[in-house]
Amino acid sequence: MSRQQSDGKPGLAALAGVRVLDIATFLAAPFAGTVLADFGAEVIKVEQPKVGDPLRRFGTPTEAGDSLVWLSEARNKKSVTLDLRTPRGAEIFRGLVRQSDVVLENFRPGTLEKWGLGFEALREVNPGLVMLRISAYGQTGPLRDKPGFARIAHAFAGLTALAGEKDGPPVVPGSTSLADYISGIWGALGVVLALRVKERTGRGQFIDIALYESVFRLLDELVPAYAKTGFVRERMGADTVNVAPHSHYRTASGQWVAIACTSDKMFERLAQAMGEPQLAGKAEFATSQARVARRDEVNGMVARWVGSLPMQEVLARCEAGEVPCGPIYDIADIFADAQYRARENLLEMVDPRAGPLVLPAAVPRLSETPAELRHAGPALGADTAEVLGDLLGLDADALRELAKSGVI
């Protein structure tokens, strides 16, 4: 584990000089802000006075009064309290927009417009503004006004229908927050693309992302296969639709491994590793199409071989045969793994409020302008005085008056 992701030099951050106003809540749009902040953008988290982002209370609580999710996913951000629903709060926000590059939001479509803070209104203040807008179903369409969370997005996008055993119910596809994180990644990409256009034209734009679209885009050939042949893919447990063996198998030591045979050459290597090279020469197993037709038989053979050996022996034989195979890890395994240590995927830090923490490292890994973990998620309003003072020139008296009236 590492206390810092890199030895990057100050001033060389990829997004140094970019100022982002994060007025979103929970995870999707805020995670886009986390990605941007990891790479040096100044991300100012704007939260409701007194209560803050509900993400602070979502997940495992800590001594800081904020959850571990907050400390991890609001890292590298500043926190400012501001009630956007009040005229004075909206006025102050417009002042911040005037001096910023990006706004991140995930209110229901039309909410910001009701407050006079929609994209067109803010573009009058700052023509170069880039606004990321993430919502359940996007800014258009008959469902635009419906609420939604990642679980609903997984279902609507077609992912949940694929998760689970063939004869069992659909299950959570790994994480209930997957669509949020994926949407945040798409959102960060959209922001960087829009900023690139702004460099050329001076003109901003908004990015419209629906939670379900972020997942739907990643379902490989699901769309063209249905359009071309009418094929409706169903749940297959650990298996994969077009190839076999490509599944999970239990070893003699009780641990599980994943084996991926995506080609005939790969199956030939697996047959060699299994000590049965003749299998690759048999017509009923020689091609992917043939193996898929005999999926249960093929899986049975591999399962018996894997089940006869301890996990380390399976891994060693597959490695020697250049067969893609890996252990199925839980989080305890990950913390003990040498690859994770070598890549510094687990970052150690000491937070002044929560004490020792270990957080996941940023992705991607840039050779010249790497990400850096500067601090964990901040206390509510920790940077209000600094930000409003530095950017808008508000003095202590003005800040006290704003606090008294509930604007901050």
The single-letter code of the amino acid at 405 is: S
- In the set 53, 101, 180, 383, the catalytic residue is 180
250: left (phi over 0), alpha (psi -120 to 50) or beta: beta
- CA–CA separation, 151 vs 47, rounded Å? 25
The single-letter code of the amino acid at 159 is: L
How big is the CA angle at 183 (ends 181 and 188), to the nearest 5 degrees? 95
* Distance (Å) of CA 253 to CA 183, 246, 307, 312, 316: 39, 21, 8, 9, 14
Q: Give me the count of residues in the chain.
A: 408
Beta pairing partners, 249: 257
Q: Strands 256-260 and 246-250, how do they pair?
A: antiparallel
Give yes or no: 38 in active site: no
Angle between helices 178-201 and 28-38 (to 10 degrees): 60
DSSP letters, 300-326, are HHHHHHHHTS-HHHHHHHHHHTT--EE
Beta pairing partners, 246: 260
Number of other CB atoms surrounding residue 17 within 10 Å: 10
Nearest to 66 by CA among 354, 309, 300, 267: 354
223 Cβ contact partners less than 8 Å away, ≥ 6 residues apart: none
DSSP letters, 183-246, are HHHHHHHHHHHHHHHHHHHS--EEEEEEHHHHHHTTSTTHHHHHHHH-------TT--SS-SSE
- CA–CA separation, 163 vs 185, rounded Å? 22
- CA–CA separation, 121 vs 271, rounded Å? 65
Active-site residue list:
180
